[in-house]
Every structure is written in C-alpha cells, then in structure tokens.
Amino acid sequence: MPELPEVETVRRGLEPAMAGVRIAAAEVRRPELRWPLPERMAERLSGRRVLRLRRRSKYILADLDSGESLLIHLGMSGRMTISGEAPGSFHRTIQPLERHDHVVFHMENGARIAFNDARRFGAMDLVASDAWESHPLLRGLGPEPLGNAFDGPGLAAALRPRRTPLKAALLDQRVVAGLGNIYVCEVLHRAGLSPLRRCDRTSGARLAALVPVIRQVLEAAIAAGGASLRDHRQASGELGYFQHDFRAYGREGAPCRTEGCDGKIRRVTQSGRSTFYCPNCQR
C-alpha cells in the first residue's frame, strides 16, 4: 500500500493539472471501489472548481468550490495518471481509457486524470469541507510527521507507556500518521533501534530522537518520487526510485549498510508482516 511519500508524490504531481482548475466533466465508470462511491458523484463533481489539493496521512483531499471535498485513498494498487495538456507540467497524448480506469476527471485545462485501480482496494468519498476531520477514515489519526505538531517529547509520551514492540507502535496511525511497513523498517534501521524492542523498555531520549530520523527518511523518499515496488507510479507515469536507497526493507541476507557494521539484514514476521533489520547494530 502506498505510504506517505508515495501519496504526497501523487498529490504534488496532480497539483499543476487540478489546483485552481474546473472539472469540466467527471466520469464514474463503476458504482464501487472498496466501498460504494457517493451518490450522484459525477454530477456533484462536474463543473466544480478544485480550490486546492491537500494530504492527510495516506489520503488526498481535493477541496471544491461547492463546499465539499473529494477524499481519495489509493489502496493497494490505485494510481492517478495525467494525460493531455497540464499547464506547468507536461503534455502526454490522451490514450483510450483502460479497463481499470474507474473514475475519470476531464479538466477544463485539457488534462485528463484517471483513477486506475485493478484490485479495487482504493476508495473515494465526498465530505463537507468544514467537517473533513470527522470522516471515519480520518478521525483519530495522529500528528503529521512533517508537521509542526510532531515533536520528540510528544512522540516519546505516546510511545513510552506501550508494552508493544517499536515496529507495531509506529505502524499505529493514532501515534503518527502516514508511516507504513517500508518506512518504519527504514527509520528504525537508521536510528539503530531494534523493531523487536518494547517501547516501555526504551528511554524517552531514544524515542524522541526518532523524530528527526522519521522526517529525514520521509523527505528523502518524497524527493525521490517515493518507492516503486509493485504498483506505485507518479502522476506522470514515471516510477519512484527511493527503493534504491533502502537500507533494510527487502534486503534479507544482504550486508548491513551501516558504516562499520559487519552484520546482515534479517527478515522476521511481526503481526503477519515482514520486518527487515540488522540484529548486529539495531538494539
């Protein structure tokens, strides 16, 4: 599933084609994705201007001049791709729609944006713009890791009482929003903390020190266009390339990239998910 860097990369790619632009026509080509799409969705979107594009955790929000916001979740395999004219971006010849192009936005500036989701784990909804925080998918989310509200003392206070492993705690979206399996593995490797270590047995200072590491990893991943392992592509159709900078994730048996460490990356299963770490330098 795309994590924060991949979603932010998609949001930034869509911005030149959508922000400030009217949706000339919206086309809904099936009634549901993961869940049923909103009633009269095409009608409620067509003719509306996109005021701005925002991201909350792993979700994109398109605020409309109707007072509603379009909530977009990419799911496991969802992609949003642009073709046609997109001012300030690029030109890509409009091709016939593909089988899994389920929702299509024909923009007034000549761009066409298609939401393609072969596995249909993605979702879209319409919510009142002044009440988006109460949406079931968004309420209860923790702080944005790149926002000002995310700091060392706050993270340490959220983690320290927990008796769960660090990996599980950092995946909890109530603790910090947007982190997933890939980036938690990368953060813990760079921080020298074992994913198996319990939160309540880790000092507040070490927990607080995770904040700059989280920011550094996420910012580097966004700059690289995210990580393309299976389905993720940027809105331009290009692949991300942060996977080439992985230090832990997916590197089972490979030499640890920490300077001075002669360990090898190990894979273990935690809560049904693969965890990659170096038992030599992550303690």
- CATH number for the domain including 172? 1.10.8.50
Rounded Cα distance, 204 and 260, in Å: 26
Residue 239: predicted pLDDT:
67
Binning pLDDT at 50, 70 and 90, where does residue 2 land?
confident
- Residue of 48, 58, 79, 112 with catalytic role: 58
Active site residue 38: no
Say whether both 14 and 128 belong to one domain: yes
Active site residue 264: no
Active site residue 160: no
SS (H, E, C) 34-68: CCECCCCHHHHHCCCEEEEEEEECCEEEEEECCCE
- Residue of 2, 16, 143, 195 with catalytic role: 2
Residue 119: predicted pLDDT:
92
Say whether both 121 and 171 belong to one domain: no
Say whether both 71 and 166 belong to one domain: no
The tens digit of pLDDT for each residue in 196-230 reads: 999 999 999 999 999 999 999 999 999 998 986 66
pLDDT, average across residues 133-160: 97
| pLDDT at residue 52 tops 70 | yes
Say whether both 176 and 59 belong to one domain: no
Binning pLDDT at 50, 70 and 90, where does residue 44 land?
very high
Residue 114: predicted pLDDT:
96
Say whether both 69 and 163 belong to one domain: no
Active site residue 273: yes
Which of 134, 168, 196 is where one domain is finished?
134
Say whether both 162 and 252 belong to one domain: yes
- Residue of 3, 15, 68, 186 with catalytic role: 3
- Residue of 49, 206, 266, 273 with catalytic role: 273
Question: What is the count of structural domains for the chain?
Answer: 2
Domain assignment of residue 141, yes or no: no
User: Which tops the pLDDT comparison, 235 or 151?
Assistant: 151
Say whether both 121 and 17 belong to one domain: yes
Domain assignment of residue 145, yes or no: no
CA-nearest of 173, 18, 21, 30 to 80 is 18
Domain assignment of residue 144, yes or no: no
**Which residues neighbour 202 within 8 Å (Cβ) at sequence distance 6 or greater?**
159, 160, 166, 193
Domain assignment of residue 142, yes or no: no
| pLDDT at residue 96 tops 80 | no
Percent of the chain topping pLDDT 70: 93
Mean pLDDT of the chain: 93
The tens digit of pLDDT for each residue in 217-275 reads: 999 999 998 986 666 566 666 767 788 899 999 999 999 999 999 999 999 999 899 99
Least confident of 95-104, 163-172, 176-185: 95-104
CA-nearest of 231, 172, 187, 218 to 55 is 218
